Protein backbone atom coordinates (compact mmCIF):
# COMPACT_ATOMS: atom_id res chain seq x y z
CA UNK A 1 0.00 0.00 0.00
CA UNK A 2 1.28 3.45 -0.90
CA UNK A 3 1.81 6.05 1.79
CA UNK A 4 -0.48 8.96 1.01
CA UNK A 5 0.18 10.62 4.36
CA UNK A 6 3.41 12.24 3.19
CA UNK A 7 1.59 15.34 1.96
CA UNK A 8 1.82 17.30 5.19
CA UNK A 9 2.33 20.90 6.12
CA UNK A 10 5.97 21.94 6.06
CA UNK A 11 7.30 25.25 7.31
CA UNK A 12 8.87 25.82 3.88
CA UNK A 13 5.31 26.22 2.51
CA UNK A 14 4.62 29.22 4.75
CA UNK A 15 3.99 32.56 3.08
CA UNK A 16 4.00 34.20 6.53
CA UNK A 17 0.42 35.39 6.16
CA UNK A 18 -1.66 33.57 8.76
CA UNK A 19 -4.91 33.48 6.77
CA UNK A 20 -3.21 32.02 3.67
CA UNK A 21 -1.09 29.55 5.62
CA UNK A 22 -4.25 28.32 7.35
CA UNK A 23 -5.94 27.87 3.97
CA UNK A 24 -2.88 26.07 2.59
CA UNK A 25 -3.05 23.65 5.53
CA UNK A 26 -6.71 23.01 4.72
CA UNK A 27 -5.84 22.34 1.06
CA UNK A 28 -3.21 19.83 2.13
CA UNK A 29 -5.76 18.06 4.36
CA UNK A 30 -8.32 17.94 1.52
CA UNK A 31 -5.84 16.48 -0.97
CA UNK A 32 -4.53 14.01 1.61
CA UNK A 33 -8.08 12.84 2.40
CA UNK A 34 -8.79 12.31 -1.30
CA UNK A 35 -5.52 10.40 -1.70
CA UNK A 36 -6.35 8.14 1.23
CA UNK A 37 -9.77 7.41 -0.23
CA UNK A 38 -8.04 6.22 -3.43
CA UNK A 39 -6.44 3.42 -1.43
CA UNK A 40 -9.88 2.07 -0.53
CA UNK A 41 -12.15 0.19 -2.91
CA UNK A 42 -13.31 2.96 -5.23
CA UNK A 43 -16.18 0.85 -6.54
CA UNK A 44 -17.71 1.37 -3.11
CA UNK A 45 -16.37 4.87 -2.54
CA UNK A 46 -16.56 6.58 -5.93
CA UNK A 47 -19.57 8.72 -5.03
CA UNK A 48 -17.84 9.80 -1.82
CA UNK A 49 -14.68 10.60 -3.77
CA UNK A 50 -16.66 12.60 -6.31
CA UNK A 51 -18.45 14.63 -3.61
CA UNK A 52 -15.19 15.26 -1.73
CA UNK A 53 -13.43 16.25 -4.96
CA UNK A 54 -16.14 18.75 -5.91
CA UNK A 55 -16.03 20.18 -2.40
CA UNK A 56 -12.23 20.46 -2.56
CA UNK A 57 -12.42 22.26 -5.90
CA UNK A 58 -14.86 24.78 -4.40
CA UNK A 59 -12.37 25.38 -1.59
CA UNK A 60 -9.52 25.80 -4.10
CA UNK A 61 -11.60 28.44 -5.93
CA UNK A 62 -12.34 30.24 -2.66
CA UNK A 63 -8.66 30.19 -1.69
CA UNK A 64 -7.48 31.39 -5.10
CA UNK A 65 -9.96 34.27 -4.92
CA UNK A 66 -8.67 35.21 -1.45
CA UNK A 67 -5.09 35.28 -2.75
CA UNK A 68 -6.08 37.25 -5.84
CA UNK A 69 -7.90 39.87 -3.77
CA UNK A 70 -4.81 40.32 -1.57
CA UNK A 71 -2.57 40.60 -4.61
CA UNK A 72 -4.81 43.20 -6.27
CA UNK A 73 -5.20 45.23 -3.09
CA UNK A 74 -1.42 45.33 -2.68
CA UNK A 75 -0.68 45.93 -6.38
CA UNK A 76 1.39 42.77 -6.64
CA UNK A 77 3.27 43.08 -9.97
CA UNK A 78 3.08 39.35 -10.79
CA UNK A 79 -0.68 39.22 -10.16
CA UNK A 80 -1.67 38.44 -13.79
CA UNK A 81 0.75 35.51 -14.05
CA UNK A 82 -0.23 34.17 -10.62
CA UNK A 83 -3.95 34.38 -11.44
CA UNK A 84 -3.29 32.63 -14.75
CA UNK A 85 -1.62 29.73 -12.91
CA UNK A 86 -4.71 29.37 -10.72
CA UNK A 87 -6.98 29.36 -13.76
CA UNK A 88 -4.81 26.86 -15.63
CA UNK A 89 -4.74 24.49 -12.65
CA UNK A 90 -8.53 24.54 -12.36
CA UNK A 91 -8.89 24.02 -16.10
CA UNK A 92 -6.49 21.06 -16.12
CA UNK A 93 -8.22 19.54 -13.12
CA UNK A 94 -11.58 19.93 -14.83
CA UNK A 95 -10.23 18.29 -18.00
CA UNK A 96 -8.97 15.33 -15.97
CA UNK A 97 -12.34 14.92 -14.28
CA UNK A 98 -14.17 15.18 -17.61
CA UNK A 99 -11.87 12.53 -19.05
CA UNK A 100 -12.74 10.12 -16.24
CA UNK A 101 -16.45 10.68 -16.72
CA UNK A 102 -16.27 10.27 -20.51
CA UNK A 103 -13.96 7.33 -21.04
CA UNK A 104 -11.96 6.48 -17.95
CA UNK A 105 -8.65 7.29 -19.66
CA UNK A 106 -7.31 8.93 -16.51
CA UNK A 107 -7.47 7.11 -13.23
CA UNK A 108 -8.57 8.81 -10.06
CA UNK A 109 -5.19 8.44 -8.39
CA UNK A 110 -3.65 10.58 -11.13
CA UNK A 111 -5.97 13.43 -10.10
CA UNK A 112 -4.81 13.33 -6.50
CA UNK A 113 -1.18 13.02 -7.59
CA UNK A 114 -1.63 16.04 -9.86
CA UNK A 115 -3.12 18.12 -7.03
CA UNK A 116 -0.40 17.11 -4.57
CA UNK A 117 2.39 17.91 -7.04
CA UNK A 118 0.80 21.16 -8.25
CA UNK A 119 0.16 22.56 -4.78
CA UNK A 120 3.60 21.54 -3.49
CA UNK A 121 5.28 23.38 -6.36
CA UNK A 122 2.89 26.34 -6.15
CA UNK A 123 3.40 26.79 -2.39
CA UNK A 124 7.20 26.79 -2.55
CA UNK A 125 7.56 28.97 -5.63
CA UNK A 126 4.68 31.16 -6.77
CA UNK A 127 3.03 31.63 -3.37
CA UNK A 128 6.37 32.08 -1.62
CA UNK A 129 7.23 34.95 -3.99
CA UNK A 130 3.83 36.49 -3.39
CA UNK A 131 4.27 36.18 0.38
CA UNK A 132 7.66 37.88 0.26
CA UNK A 133 6.18 40.80 -1.65
CA UNK A 134 3.13 41.13 0.60
CA UNK A 135 5.27 41.03 3.74
Q: Does residue 1 lie within any of the structural domains?
A: no
Give the pLDDT mean for 4-25: 90
Predicted local distance difference test score (pLDDT) of residue 50: 82
Q: Does residue 125 lie within any of the structural domains?
A: yes
Q: Does residue 120 lie within any of the structural domains?
A: yes
pLDDT(33) > 70:
yes
Q: What is the DSSP string of the chain?
A: ----TT----GGG--S-HHHHHHHHHHHHHHHHHHHHHHS-HHHHHHHHHHHHHHHHHHHHHHHHHHHHHHHHTT-TTHHHHHHHHHHHHHHHHHHHHHHHHH--S-HHHHHHHHHHHHHHHIIIIIHHHHHHH-
Domain interval for residue 120 = 17-134
Q: Does residue 75 lie within any of the structural domains?
A: yes
Q: Does residue 10 lie within any of the structural domains?
A: no
Residue of 131, 20, 22 lying closest to 76 (CA atoms)? 131
pLDDT tens string 61-119: 999 999 999 999 999 999 999 999 999 999 999 988 887 766 555 677 888 999 999 99
Give the pLDDT mean for 18-38: 93
Q: Does residue 7 lie within any of the structural domains?
A: no
pLDDT(35) > 80:
yes
Q: Does residue 80 lie within any of the structural domains?
A: yes
What is the CATH number for 31? 1.20.120.50
> How many structural domains compose the chain?
1
pTM recorded for the entire structure: 0.88
pLDDT band of 20, cuts 50, 70, 90: very high
Amino acid sequence: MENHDHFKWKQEYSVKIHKLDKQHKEIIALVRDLSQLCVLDLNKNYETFEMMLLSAIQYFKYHFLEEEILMKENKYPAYPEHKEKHEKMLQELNEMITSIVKDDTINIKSITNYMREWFTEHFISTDKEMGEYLN
